[in-house]
């Protein structure tokens, strides 16, 4: 059997999987954006309409789902910087692997700071 | 008709090549700006308020949009995020749709939705009245209180 190519920039291993994750998180954020523009537009309908839709955001299910949303945004954003560096920095493609681990480290640190705060707000009081 | 995949070395018309390059550059420039805009948005709305997401109600939004700073901030974020997101979805549609009419229909729908939401969002931000209901105290941000 032919040896499978692996470890190149976009085929196999980290290069490919970060690309897949970038796409999945992007699609998720896109559909949330559509919903979020519509729910915010309710401020122009009436204060009651807006407050009632905001009530949904304060429920435990949406509060926990929001952790996923923020996670998707953080990964997509910081991996996006990695993509820009791969494109524009002379040594970008050489260090794309290491840059992925930096992205992941930033992601873990920010999530560790954000998750307890969001859980406190969602389940507190 | 199925989607025809172009030969990589097939010359494009100058106009379409330039358009694609501009879209490519736009994704990177808007992406970098959106990191700052969205992280700022999350900080101000979800992290910094004492009760987090539970602080957000009509008065909270009205208090922000009583200031031109937040109107411009949210306006720029609206335009950049929607165009960035729509162009990203266009990339996926072009990659994964197998029939030409499906691809065309999805792409047209994407831009119709984006245009409608940009118009809606811009109108909401620019025509918004923060002091809409002076009789109900809880709806009023501090700027509207006598």
Closest residue on chain A to B38 (Cα): A73
**Range A96-108 average pLDDT:** 95
- Domains annotated for chain B, with CATH where assigned, are 18-144 (1.20.1300.10)
- A99 is a domain residue: yes
Q: At what angle do helices A13-41 and A96-123 cross, to 10 degrees?
A: 40
**Chain A interface residues facing chain B, Cβ-Cβ under 8 Å?**
23, 26-27, 29-30, 33-34, 37-38, 40-41, 43-44, 46-47, 50-51, 54, 57-58, 63, 66, 70, 73, 77-78, 80-81, 83-84, 87-88, 114, 117-118, 120-122, 125
- A12 is a domain residue: no
Domain count, chain A: 1
- Tell me the CATH number at A29: 1.20.1300.10
pLDDT at A9: 59
Identify the weakest region by mean pLDDT among A9-23, A34-48, A78-92, B31-45. Answer: A9-23
List Cβ neighbours of B87 (8 Å cut-off, separation of 6 or more).
B23, B26, B27
- A47 is a domain residue: yes
- A10 is a domain residue: no
Question: Is B42's CB within 8 Å of A70's CB?
Answer: yes
- Across the interface, of A30, A37, A78, the residue whose CB is closest to B88 is A30
pLDDT at A65: 95
**Range B97-115 average pLDDT:** 95
Tell me the average pLDDT of chain B. Answer: 89
* CB of B65 closer than 8 Å to CB of B125: yes
Alpha carbon distances (Å) from B16 to B7, B104, B106: 15, 16, 19
For the question of whether the overall pTM of this predicted structure is more than 0.95, the answer is no
Q: How confident is the model at residue B15 (pLDDT cuts 50, 70, 90)?
A: confident
For B80-98, b where at least 16 C-beta lie within 10 A, e where not — what string?
bbbbbbbbbbbeebeeebe
Identify the weakest region by mean pLDDT among A45-54, A65-74, B137-146. Answer: B137-146
Closest residue on chain B to A28 (Cα): B85
ipTM score above 0.90: no
- A105 is a domain residue: yes
Q: What is the pLDDT of residues A21-61, one digit of tens each?
A: 999 999 999 999 999 999 999 999 988 999 999 999 999 99
- A3 is a domain residue: no
Range of the domain at A47: 17-123
- A8 is a domain residue: no
Question: Is B57's CB within 8 Å of A27's CB?
Answer: no
- A7 is a domain residue: no
pLDDT at A2: 60
Q: Which of A3, A105, A15, A118 is nearest to B49 (CA)?
A: A118
Distance of CA A34 to the CA centre of its chain: 16
Asked if the model's pLDDT at residue B95 lies above 60, the reply is: yes
pLDDT at B146: 62
Question: Is B86's CB within 8 Å of A50's CB?
Answer: no
Query: Left (φ > 0), alpha (ψ -120 to 50) or beta: where does B62 sit?
Result: alpha
Query: Left (φ > 0), alpha (ψ -120 to 50) or beta: where does A7 sit?
Result: left
Q: Which of B35, B119, B28, B121 is nearest to B74 (CA)?
A: B121
């Amino acid at each position: 059997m032919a040896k499978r190519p692996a470890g190149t920039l976009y085929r196999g291993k980290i290069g490919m999987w970060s690309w897949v994750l970038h796409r999945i998180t992007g699609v998720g954020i896109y559909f949330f954006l559509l919903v979020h523009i519509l729910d915010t537009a309710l401020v122009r309908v009436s204060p009651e309409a807006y407050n009632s839709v905001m009530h949904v955001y304060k429920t435990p299910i949406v509060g926990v789902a929001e952790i996923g949303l923020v996670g998707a945004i953080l990964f997509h954003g910081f991996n996006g910087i990695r993509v820009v560096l791969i494109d524009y920095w002379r040594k970008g493609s050489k260090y794309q692997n290491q840059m992925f681990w930096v992205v992941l480290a930033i992601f873990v640190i920010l999530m560790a700071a954000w998750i307890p705060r969001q859980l406190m707000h969602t389940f507190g009081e | 008709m199925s989607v025809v995949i172009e030969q990589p070395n097939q010359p494009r018309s100058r106009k379409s090549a330039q358009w694609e390059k501009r879209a490519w550059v736009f994704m990177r420039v808007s992406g970098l700006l959106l990191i700052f805009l969205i992280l700022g948005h999350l900080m101000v709305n979800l992290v910094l308020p004492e009760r987090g997401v539970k602080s957000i109600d009509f008065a909270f939004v009205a208090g922000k949009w009583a200031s031109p700073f937040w109107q411009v901030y949210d306006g720029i974020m609206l335009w950049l995020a929607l165009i960035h997101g729509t162009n990203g979805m266009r990339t996926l549609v072009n990659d994964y749709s197998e029939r030409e009419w499906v691809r065309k229909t999805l792409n047209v729908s994407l831009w119709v939705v984006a245009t409608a939401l940009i118009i809606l969002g811009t109108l909401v931000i620019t025509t918004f009245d923060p002091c809409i209901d002076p009789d109900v105290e809880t709806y009023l941000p501090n700027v509207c209180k006598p």
